[in-house]
Structure 1
Amino acid sequence: MGSRKKEVALQVNISTQELWEEMLSSKGLTVVDVYQGWCGPCKPVVSLFQKMRIEVGLDLLHFALAEADHLDVLEKYRGKCEPTFLFYAIKDEALSDEDECVSHGKNNGEDEDMVSSERTCTLAIIKPDAVAHGKTDEIIMKIQEAGFEILTNEERTMTEAEMRLFYQHRAGEETFEKLVHHMCSGPSHLLILTRTEGFEDVVTTWRTVIGPCDPNVARREQPESLRAQYGTEMPFNAIHGSRDREDADRELALLFPSLKFSDKNTEALQG
């Protein structure tokens, strides 16, 4: 009876050191939602990961809930009011040498992280206006439904220096200061995207999905685009997408300086 429940459970509640160690031995990717007893787990994320487990496979993705006060190993997370998620990955020993090579790439003994893909990558930003309106999870689901794979998803509040450099090609425009101020006004979600199927140019495809820069134009010309659905007016157009391959390389290097890209089209970032 107990084993049958374990097979169908979409998340595991960890309350003892024994359960914690058992969770760490699970092959695949395990995501742990570390929560405080007074506020409970993050309900939207619980639903999201349950859905992802069904789609990805129960043997590949595991999701666990752990209250910080119940486990000594989580002592440093006690008393925090922000959501905390821990990621643990155990590689299946059945991986071939070729698969392992693709996963790690050539690191030359350096400490930088590696984003490795045989397909090209591009940058997507869910801007502060969309994040403030609580649309992040909804937009991410639509990105995945459109056939994109999210290699990295990082929440970050950008600095003024970063945004002035990021939008340097628009420095002469009247709206430049307003744009920089908006992008620094709150947290954004920075995503590195690739395509999960086909060999379309990911930069061009992503630009098509988000639609015209002006949300009003997007609603007239591409009402199904993300900017038409989530943007309001300039510069609050909800989503950023790199203009072309060169811009994608420059923006990824600026915002993810510690990452190295193995794709041929991003060799400029490997330094």
Structure 2
Amino acid sequence: MGSKKKEIALQVNISTQELWEEMLSSKGLTVVDVYQGWCGPCKPVVSLFQKMRIEAGLDLLHFALAEADCLDVLEKYRGRCEPTFLFYAIKDEALCDEDECFSQEKDNSEDEDVASSEKSCTLAIIKPDAVVHGKADEIIMKIQEAGFDILTNEERTMTEAEMRLFYQHRAGEEAFEKLVHHMSSGPSHLLILTRTEDAEDVVSAWRTFMGPCDPIVARREQPNSLRAQYGTEMPFNAVHGSERQEDASRELALLFPSFKFSEEVPKATLDKSGHEAKTKDED
């Protein structure tokens, strides 16, 4: 009976005041997707929240759905067309002391912190266009031959919600929607790379090995690069690499939540307006 109640608290579509109050009494963090009856809940984020719930623990993170028209407490959210998420947190003294126990469980489980404390790392993604054409293994072999160590290689189909967050700094660009759609269209290979010989910074070394962002330019300027050999046209350029070390840290933290950094993340370079400076060749 207890397990049934927990399942309801995690995934119930809250339609009454009684269920709403029961949800508010749940220990841990509860994320409520407030939706409109005419459009339904936000489906793209469901798998992302479920993944986060598994990472955080079933007793720490709950997910619920609530239709705005069914509850007076949600009256101010009625008629909105954008997704709305509410977060409610209640500390459970019976659970571990905040994040301390969760960290200990991670340390005592399988070794998920794949980076050596003496090595800098970067993110590499073999994109869906290269995977669907059966080029992933060939690219991985070339990566290793070029002197990169692959600490993690995970095949995963990413959600649109993940990719919107991943590329949020490009949200204003014309190609944003096309990029998000492509990156969530099929399986990718997500790699954490480092180098045995640190003669060159791993982030810069990987970007050099990928070649120019546009495959057409890559074939003209760096014909031996990965994008020249496996890319076709934008955004189907076969591989992604973090632009700078701070970008690698952000992207790895997003896609590999259990990944821990041993070194200080460098401060981002700021432009005169105080915003993080970016170059245009970011993918």
On the 8 A contact 1:149/1:194 being kept in 2, the answer is: yes
Aligned length: 161
**Alignment match, 1:211:** 211
2:130 is matched with which residue? Answer: 130
Instruction: String of CA shifts for 1:92-148, please: whole Å, max 9, x gaps.
Output: xxxxxxxxxxxxxxx962416212311100000000000000000100000001100
- Is the Cα–Cα contact under 8 Å of residues 246 and 265 in structure 2 kept in the other structure? no
The structure that has the greater radius of gyration is: 2
Equivalent residue number for residue 151 of structure 1: 151
Query: What amino acid sits opposite 1:114 in the alignment?
Result: D
Equivalents in 2 of 1:244, 1:185: separation in Å? 26
Which residue does 1:189 correspond to in 2? 189
Give distance in 2, aligned partners of 1:165 and 1:109: 28
Post-superposition CA distance 1:7-29 (Å, at most 9, x none): xxxxxxxxxxxxxxxxxxxxxxx
C-alpha distance in 2, partners of 1:261/1:245?
12
TM-superposed deviation, 1:197: 1.5
Residue in structure 2 matched with residue 109 of structure 1 by the alignment: 104
- Give the match's secondary structure for 1:111: helix
For the structure 1 residues 180 and 239, does the alpha-carbon distance in structure 2 shift closer, same or farther, using more than 3 Å as the test?
same
5+ long unaligned stretches in structure 2: 1-101, 267-283
Any idea what the Cα deviations from partners look like across 1:195-243, whole Å, max 9, x if unmatched?
Answer: 0213321001100000111000101111110000000000000000000
Q: Give the CA deviation at 1:259.
A: 2.0
RMSD of aligned alpha carbons: 1.8
CA distance in structure 1 between the aligned counterparts of 2:178 and 2:169, rounded to whole angstroms: 15
Counterpart Cα distance in 2 of 1:110 and 1:248: 26
**Distance (Å, rounded) in 2 between the aligned partners of 1:108 and 1:162:** 24
**What is aligned with 1:93?**
none
For structure 1, which segment, 147-156 or 114-123, has the greater mean C-alpha deviation from structure 2 after superposition? 114-123
Moved over 3 A (4+): 263-266
In structure 1, runs of 5+ residues without a counterpart are 1-106, 267-271
Partner of 2:249: 249
Identity %: 79
8 Å contact from structure 1 (residues 115, 261) kept in 2:
no
**Aligned residue identity for 2:258:** S
Give distance in 2, aligned partners of 1:265 and 1:110. 25
Could you tell me how far 1:265 is from its partner in structure 2?
A: 4.3
